[in-house]
Structure 1
Amino acid sequence: MKKLILSMVLVGATTIAFGQKKVIKEAEKGFKSGDLKTALTAVDAAATNPETSGDPATFLLKAQIETKIFGSDSSNTMETVQTGAAALGTFNKAFEMAGSDKAAGVGKEVYEEDLPGVPDNLRPYSIYTLKNVAFDKGIERYNDEDLEMAYEFFNLAGEIDLKDTTIHYNAGFLANDLGKFEDAKRHFGYLIDVPEYNKLNAYYFMVQILSTEEKNPEAAYELVTKAKADYPTDKVLAEYEIQLLLQLNKMDEAMAQINDALSNDPNNTGLLLRSGYLKEQAGDLEGGLADYKKAVEVDPNFFEGNYYTGALLLEQATKMLNTLNDLSDAEWEKQSPIIGKKADENYKDAVKYFEKALEIKPDNTDIMIILYQVHTRLKNTAEAEALDKKLTELLGANWQEN
């Protein structure tokens, strides 16, 4: 009797095991034939049954089915992304259950290489297949100008491979463009961690995010210092460093860096402008003016160079005229014509720089107002009237009261 009962138990166990294998076979058949709904239902049943739920191969099959469903969904919406994310989670579970070993068994199958151009029936449907399909969907969405979804697919692909520089550059670029600055920093950070990658653009983006969007010049300067260790001769990084030193009020260090940079690139208009600014701030107006003028000599169409030169000439003229206030009446009578004449020379000199700046930016009403005021002082009636007419057209009849 005991023998009969034991035999019945064994038969029951064999029947259950056979039944579960049949479910797995059904899932495999649906996966291969494209009946993915049936395949997913079958593999979900196997994944919850005690006889097959402990087998990493069950979850590998489920991940493969989910990947195929992900690839077959041409709507490419957020729901599609969620399907892909579920497949990634299932792949990771299968890999962990298999001992996290990429060299053998199910772990090896999870990370089997997915070669481009292989016919669909020969694709391994591994985690790399999921990555490649997500990347292709990102490209499709980008070409259709759906940047939000393009980012989501690139981001999904990037979660699979932290060292795929193309994916992370695309994801970082789009995240930055979409205002997702934390995401952008994460993707550019992955690029910076890849030793052989040319990471200059990643550094540029990261510095801009830290200094401009997050208003954190300390962190930006720290990153520039790291970047310059990798790329010591890069001129853009050198300019970023100077700009950040100025933001941090480290004037002496900024001046030292400017002088060093100018020794290698003496005709760099941006550096000359910064050098002039630092000298001006330190009270060396003549030195600042010389740098501004040199920047304009190098590039006559350099707007900032023309504007800063004109502005400093006006500042010098104002300082000259202000000295008259401290004189006695007798001295004022004596010095006023002399100092007034020198100030007028500065005003006349400033005109040509502001006129060039206005030529470069012909709709800049701020420069028109400055020129109107200078021509009025110099009694250049025709020029002042022409500017008044232009400003009235642009700003209204009461422009001087605003």
Structure 2
Amino acid sequence: MKKLFLTAMLSFLVLGAYAQKKVLKSAEKALRKGELEEAITLAKQAAANPETQDEPDVYITIGKAYLQQFVDSDKKDFDKANSAYDYFATAMEKGDDKLKEQMMEAPVYLPTDPTKPVGGGDTMGMLDQFMLQIGDAAWSEQDYETAFNAFHLAAKIQERITINFFAGVAAQSAEKEEIAYEYFLKVADSEEEYEYKKEAFNEVIRMNRMKENHDAALEYIAKAKELFPDDKSYASMEVDVLISAERLDEAVAGLKANIEAGNADKTQYYYLGYLQWSSGNTDEALEAANKALELDPDYYEALYIKGGAIYDKAAAVLREANNTTDDAEYTKMRDQAFAMFKEALPIFEKCYAQKQDDVYILKPLSTIYDQLEMDAKRDEILAKLDALEGQ
């Protein structure tokens, strides 16, 4: 009796497995006949059954049906394309290395008709080829949304630095900044050489700076400096970020290092002068401002630093003079202050000639005119200030 029971159970299991195999065969038959919804429904039944859920052919059948639906949509329904990818990927997970290699094989088309495949792959490799063709065509037509959808899927199919970069550019053009960042990050982090790698680094740095992620920006600036030693712009970038992060001592050290290396331009000297002036080191600020003005005598920002530093020195001497009780010492110190005001005057006037609505120029200029008893000019500047502040 026990033997008969076991025999009956075994027959039931064999029949169950046979039934599910039959469902899969029916799905494959429906696919060949072009009955795509029927193929998907039957194959999904097989995918849900323990007897056939680990068969790669189940998922290949579903993927092929979705791929054909994508083709039938004039290759515009990316939901179908993504569904095809998902099922092909599942088949590859459940299959061996040989199956993976077969599925990644690209299709071969008739030389006389590039739309009719005559061999090669008809699963993941075909989907990949479609995405690359669609992405290229859409990009040339400036259809960035379609280009993004295509390159985004192609990047999932196979890890390629070129596709990652173009997926990033397409995402950025389609105003998908967060996704673009992830792709540019992949390119920057790749150890593979690539002609547009610097552009990827620049985007990673730019996006981190915009978000005020100073540490991440500095990390990728440091990597870029090492990878692209001939590009001196990263040194300036680094200083800019350090200033934004209020890491001023490091910024000054970086600027001095750039200057010592012979890489400084007028902007670098200006930044150094500004930081030194902000720290109360007026003599060093003057030296840096003068270096910038040697490179560009009309450089507004450097003129402002120079004039401001001299003005501050004059004001400090005048305050000290006002605190002394010795008449001779007072006169001597007052004359020193006035001499410095006179030195600062043409510098501020040169700034004023360039920008007549900068209150940071107008305020010290009005004070200098007042101290030098140039009342008419003082009143003109004060009237200008009143007009600007009343706006």
Q: TM-score, normalised by structure 1?
A: 0.73
Give, in whole Å, the separation in 2 of the partners of 1:205 and 1:273: 26
Relative distance call for 1:121 and 1:381 in structure 2 (3 A) is farther
User: Which residue, 202, 214, 229 being the options, matches 1:204?
Assistant: 202
Amino-acid identity (%):
21
Q: In 2, are the aligned partners of 1:317 and 1:344 still within 8 Å (CA)?
A: yes
SS class of match (2:116): helix
SS class of match (2:340): helix
Q: How does 1:261-276 map to 2 (within 5 A)?
A: 261-276=258-273
Q: In 1, are the aligned partners of 2:155 and 2:163 still within 8 Å (CA)?
A: no
Is it true that 1:110 corresponds to 2:103 in the alignment? yes
Equivalence for 1:34: none
Give, in whole Å, the separation in 2 of the partners of 1:302 and 1:137: 50
User: Which residue, 133, 153, 156 being the options, matches 2:153?
Assistant: 156
Is it true that 1:190 corresponds to 2:183 in the alignment? no
* Unpaired runs of at least 5, structure 1: 1-9, 31-37
Equivalence for 1:57: 57
Q: How far did 1:69 drift? A: 3.0
Q: In 2, are the aligned partners of 1:113 and 1:128 still within 8 Å (CA)?
A: yes
User: RMSD between aligned alpha carbons?
Assistant: 4.2
Equivalence for 2:9: none
Give, in whole Å, the separation in 1 of the partners of 2:364 and 2:174: 37
Give, in whole Å, the separation in 2 of the partners of 1:259 and 1:94: 59
Equivalence for 1:94: 91
Q: How far did 1:90 drift? A: 0.9
SS class of match (1:121): strand
Q: In 1, are the aligned partners of 2:60 and 2:87 still within 8 Å (CA)?
A: yes
Q: How far did 1:42 drift? A: 1.7
Is it true that 1:226 corresponds to 2:230 in the alignment? no
Is it true that 1:339 corresponds to 2:343 in the alignment? no
SS class of match (1:119): strand
Give, in whole Å, the separation in 2 of the partners of 1:114 and 1:353: 71
Q: In 1, are the aligned partners of 2:304 and 2:348 still within 8 Å (CA)?
A: no
Relative distance call for 1:219 and 1:301 in structure 2 (3 A) is same
Equivalence for 2:66: 66
Q: How far did 1:63 drift? A: 1.9
Q: TM-score, normalised by structure 2?
A: 0.74
User: Which residue, 41, 53, 74 being the options, matches 1:44?
Assistant: 41
Q: In 2, are the aligned partners of 1:24 and 1:43 still within 8 Å (CA)?
A: no
* Unpaired runs of at least 5, structure 2: 1-13
Give, in whole Å, the separation in 2 of the partners of 1:162 and 1:304: 47
Relative distance call for 1:381 and 1:71 in structure 2 (3 A) is farther
Equivalence for 2:25: 21
Give, in whole Å, the separation in 2 of the partners of 1:348 and 1:12: 99
SS class of match (1:349): helix
Q: How far did 1:96 drift? A: 1.1
Give, in whole Å, the separation in 2 of the partners of 1:53 and 1:94: 10
Q: How far did 1:92 drift? A: 0.6
Q: How far did 1:89 drift? A: 0.9
Q: How far did 1:112 drift? A: 1.3
Relative distance call for 1:289 and 1:340 in structure 2 (3 A) is closer
